[in-house]
Structure 1
Amino acid sequence: MRFGILGPLDIRTDDGTPLDPGGPRPRALLTLLLLDADRAVSTQRLTDGLYGAEPPAGAAGALQSQVSRLRRRLAPHTDIEAGPGGYRVVAPPDSVDAHRFERLSREGRAALTAGDHARAAPLLREALALWRGPALPDVPDAHAEAARLDELRLAAVQDRIEADLALGGGPELVPELRTLLSAHPLSERLYGQLMRALHAGGRPAEALTVYEDARRTLADELGTDPSPELSALHLELLQGGGPERHRLPVQLTRFVGRESELTRIAGLLADARLVTLTGPGGAGKTRLAIEAADRQSDVCFVELAPVTDGKQIPYAVLTALGVREGFRTAATDSTDRLLAALEDRKLLLVLDNCEHLVEEAARIAALLLGSCPGVRVLATSRESLGITGEVLVPVPPLPQEPAVRLFVDRARAVRPGFEAHARVPGICAALDGLPLAIELAAARLRTLTPDELADRLDDRFRLLSRGDRSKAPRHRTLRAVVEWSWDLLDEEERELARRLTVFSGGATLEAVEAVCGLSYPEDVLASLVEKSFLEVSEGRYRMLETIRAFAAEDAEDARDAEDRGDAHAGYFLRLAEEADPHLRGGGQLPWLARLAAEHVNLDAALSHLVRRDTDSALRLMGPLSWFWRLRGVHGERVATARELLAAVGDAPRPGLEEEYVLCAINALSGAGGEPELIARVDAVLHAYQGPLRLPYVLVLWAVAAGPRPADEAHALTLAGDSPWARALLDVGLGFRTQYAGRPLEAEECFDRALAGFRATGDRWGMANCLDPLGMLAHTRGESERALELLDEGLAHVRELAAPEETADLLRTRATVLLHRGDTAAAVAHFEQALTLARGAGLPDKVAAARRGLGDAARLSGDTAHARVHYENALQDCAANWFSVGETVRSLIGLGRTAAAEGHTEEARDWFRQAAELAVEGWGDLELADAAEALASTADSAERATVLLGAAAGLRGGRVEGDPDVVRIEADVRAKLSPEAYDQAFEQGLRLRSAAVSER
Structure 2
Amino acid sequence: MDAGRFERLADEGRAALRDGDPERAAALLGEALALWRGPALADVPRAETEAVRLEERGLAAREDRIEADLGRGRHRDVVPELRELLGRHPLRERLAGLLMRALRDGGGRAEALVVFEETRRRLADELGTDPSADLAALHRDLLRGDPAPAPVRPPAPLTALVGRDGDVEGVADLLGTARLVTLTGPGGVGKTRLAVEVAGRTGGRGAAGPACFAELAPLRDGASLPRALLGALGLRESGLQAPDAAKDPEDRLAAALADRTLLLVLDNCEHVVDAVAALAARLLAACPGLRILATSREPLGITGEHLWPVRPLDGDSAVRLFTARASAVRRGFAADPRAVRRICAALDDLPLAIELAAARLRTMDVADLGDRLGDRLGVPSRGSRTADERHRTLRAVVAWSWDLLTGGERRAAERFTVFAGGATPDAAREVCGDDGDALEALVDKSLLELSGGRYRMLETIRAYGAERGGDPGEAGDAHARYFLELARTADPQLRGAGQLEWLRVLGAEHGNLLAALSRAAEARDVPTGLRLSAAMAGYLWIRGVSVAAQAAALLDAAGPVPPPGLEEEYATCVLHAGADAAGREVWRRHRTAAEAALEAVWADGRTGRHPALPFLWMMRRADEPDAHSAYALVLARRDGPDPWARAAAHFIAGFEPLATGDAERAGRDFEAAVRGFRVLGDRWGTALALDALAGLAAHRGDRATAVALTDEALVLTEQLGALDDTADLLVNRGDHRIGDDRDAARADYERAAAVARRAGSATYLAAALRGLGDIALLDGDLGTAERLYSDALDRFDPHWIKSVGGRATALIGLGRVAAARGDQGAARSRFREAAGGAASRGAFMDAARAVDALAGLAAAEGAAERAARLSGAAAALRGAPPGAAPADGVSADGGPAADGAGGGPAEVLSRADALRLAGLDEEVIEAVSRR
> What TM-score do the two structures reach when normalised by structure 2?
0.76
Indicate the SS of the match to 2:689. Answer: helix
Deviation at 1:769, TM superposition (A): 0.5
Q: Which residue of 2 aligns with 1:78?
A: none
Counterpart Cα distance in 1 of 2:178 and 2:855: 57
Match of 1:655 in 2: 565
Q: Which moved more, 1:962-971 or 1:533-542?
A: 962-971
Query: Residues 371 and 971 from structure 1, CA distance in 2 versus in 1: closer, same or farther, beyond 3 angstroms?
Result: closer
Distance (whole Å) between structure 2 residues aligned to residue 360 and residue 245 of structure 1 = 21
Question: What aligned pairs does 1:556-571 form with structure 2 within 5 A after superposition?
Answer: 558=471, 561-571=472-482
Q: Is the 8 A contact 1:858 1:897 kept in 2?
A: yes
Partner of 2:269: 354
Equivalent of residue 913 in structure 1, options 833, 838, 844: 833
Partner of 1:225: 142
Alignment of 1:808 onto 2:808: no
Q: 1:649 to 1:912 in 2, by over 3 A?
A: closer
What is the match of residue 367 of structure 1? 282
Q: How far apart, in 2, do the equivalents of 1:743 and 1:859 lie? A: 29
Identity of aligned residues (%): 47
In structure 2, the residue matched to 1:888 is: 808
1:573 aligns with 2:484: yes
- Pick from 158, 161, 181 the counterpart of residue 255 of structure 1: 161
Q: State the 1:991 CA deviation.
A: 9.7
Distance in 2, Cα, partners of 1:969 & 1:368: 43
Q: 1:604 aligns with which of 503, 515, 520?
A: 515
Q: Secondary structure at 1:964's aligned position in 2?
A: coil
CA contact (8 A) 1:696 1:725 kept: yes
Structure 1 pair 698–809 and aligned structure 2 pair: CA distance change class (3 A): same
Q: Which residue of 2 aligns with 1:42?
A: none
Residue 799 of structure 1: how far off its partner (Å): 1.8
Instruction: Provide Cα deviations, 1:438-474, integer angstroms capped at 9, x if missing partner.
Output: 22223333333333332222222218999xx999557
Amino acid in structure 1 at the alignment position of 2:549: A
Residue 940 in structure 1 maps to residue 862 in structure 2: yes
Q: Check the 8 A contact 2:659/2:879 in 1, yes or no.
A: no
Q: Which residue of 2 aligns with 1:493?
A: 409
- The farther-off stretch of 304-313 and 360-369 is 360-369
Contact 1:743 1:776 in 2 (8 A): yes
- The answer to whether residue 678 in structure 2 is matched with residue 763 in structure 1 is no
- Tell me the residue number matched to 1:643: 553
- 1:106 alignment counterpart: none
Residues 355-402 of structure 1: per-residue CA shift (max 9 Å, x gap): 011111111112212332332222111111111222211111112122
Quote the offset at 1:539 in angstroms: 2.0
Aligned residue for 2:249? Answer: 334
Aligned equivalents of 2:714 and 2:288: distance in 1? Answer: 33
For 1:684 and 1:362, the matched residues in 2 are separated by 45
What is the CA–CA distance in structure 2 between the aligned matches of 1:336 and 1:834, rounded to whole Å? 17
Return closer, same or farther for 1:202/1:449 CA change in 2, 3 Å cut-off: farther
Secondary structure of the 2:735 match is helix
Letter of the structure 1 residue corresponding to residue 453 of structure 2:
G
The 1-side partners of 2:807 and 2:217 are apart by 42
**Aligned position for 1:345:** 260
Q: 1:608 to 1:774 in 2, by over 3 A?
A: same
Deviations 1:38-89 (A, max 9, x none): xxxxxxxxxxxxxxxxxxxxxxxxxxxxxxxxxxxxxxxxxxxxxxxxxxxx
Structure 2: any 5+ residue segments left out of the alignment? Answer: 1-19, 21-67, 79-97, 106-111, 113-132, 203-208, 921-931
The whole-number CA distance in structure 1 between the counterparts of 2:224 and 2:174 is: 29
CA drift at 1:275: 1.5
- Is residue 509 of structure 1 aligned with residue 425 of structure 2? yes
Match of 1:964 among 883, 890, 896: 890
Q: Aligned partners of 2:911 and 2:800: how far apart in 1?
A: 28
Contact 2:819/2:892 (<8 A) preserved: no
Q: Which amino acid aligns with 2:515?
A: A
Correspondent of 1:536 among 450, 457, 460: 450
Partner secondary structure for residue 345 of structure 1: coil
8 A contact 1:737–1:746 mirrored in 2? yes
Which residue number in structure 1 is paired with residue 779 of structure 2? Answer: 860
CA contact (8 A) 1:515 1:571 kept: yes
Query: Aligned letter for 1:220?
Result: A
Relative to 1, partners in 2 of residues 1:918 and 1:599: Cα closer, same or farther, differing over 3 Å?
Answer: closer
Q: CA deviation at 1:414?
A: 3.0
Tell me whether 419-428 or 926-935 shows the greater mean CA deviation.
419-428
State the 1:227 CA deviation: 7.7
Indicate how the Cα distance of structure 1 residues 540 and 383 shifts in structure 2: closer, same or farther if over 3 A, else same: same
Cα offset for 1:748? 2.0
One-letter identity of the residue aligned with 1:434: L
Show the counterpart of 2:877: 954
Given that 2:152 and 2:232 are in contact with CA atoms closer than 8 Å, whether structure 1 keeps it comes out as no
CA contact (8 A) 1:431 1:438 kept: yes
Note the residue ranges of structure 1 that are not aligned, 5 or more in a row: 1-170, 172-198, 233-243
SS of the counterpart of 1:919? Answer: helix
Q: Does 1:928 align with 2:834?
A: no
For residues 936 and 549 of structure 1, what CA distance do their matches in structure 2 show?
70
1:253 aligns to what SS in structure 2?
coil
Q: What corresponds to 2:594 in structure 1?
A: 681
Between the aligned partners of 1:985 and 1:346, the Cα distance in structure 2 is: 58
Offset at residue 724 of structure 1 (A): 1.7
Equivalent of 2:365, from 449, 456, 466?
449
Q: Identify the match of residue 308 of structure 2 among 378, 393, 404.
A: 393
1:709 and 2:631 correspond? no
Question: Quick one: structure 1 residues 464 and 448, their matched pair in 2 at CA, closer, same or farther if it must change by over 3 Å?
Answer: same
Mean Cα deviation higher: 618-627 or 418-427: 418-427
Corresponding residue of 2:797: 878
Q: What residue in structure 2 maps to residue 288 of structure 1?
A: 194
Inter-CA distance 962–927: structure 2 relative to 1 (3 Å threshold): closer
Q: Secondary structure at the match of 1:329?
A: coil
Matching residue of 2:575: 665
Match of 2:438 in 1: 524
Higher relative contact order (CA 8 A, sep 6+): 2
Look up the match of 1:99.
none
Change (3 A) 1:312 1:673: closer
Check the 8 A contact 1:349/1:378 in 2, yes or no.
yes
Deviations 1:391-441 (A, max 9, x none): 211111112122223223333333455467332222221111111112222
**Kindly tell me: are residues 966 and 774 of structure 1, through their superposed partners in 2, closer, same or farther at Cα, counting changes over 3 Å?**
farther
Say how many residue pairs are matched: 776
CA displacement at 1:988 relative to structure 2:
9.1
From the superposition, tell whether residues 491 and 615 of structure 1 become closer, same or farther in structure 2 (CA, over 3 Å): closer
Indicate conservation of the 8 Å contact 1:218/1:224, yes or no: no
Alpha-carbon separation, structure 1, partners of 2:871 and 2:234: 45
Q: Decide whether the 8 Å contact of 2:244 with 2:800 is kept in 1.
A: no
Give 1:781 deviation, angstroms: 2.4
Inter-partner Cα distance in structure 1 for 2:536 and 2:896: 55
Contact 2:151 2:234 in 1 (8 A): no
Aligned to 1:379: 294
Whether the 8 Å contact between 2:531 and 2:569 is mirrored in structure 1 is yes
AA aligned opposite 2:919: E
Conserved 8 A contact 1:499-1:564: yes
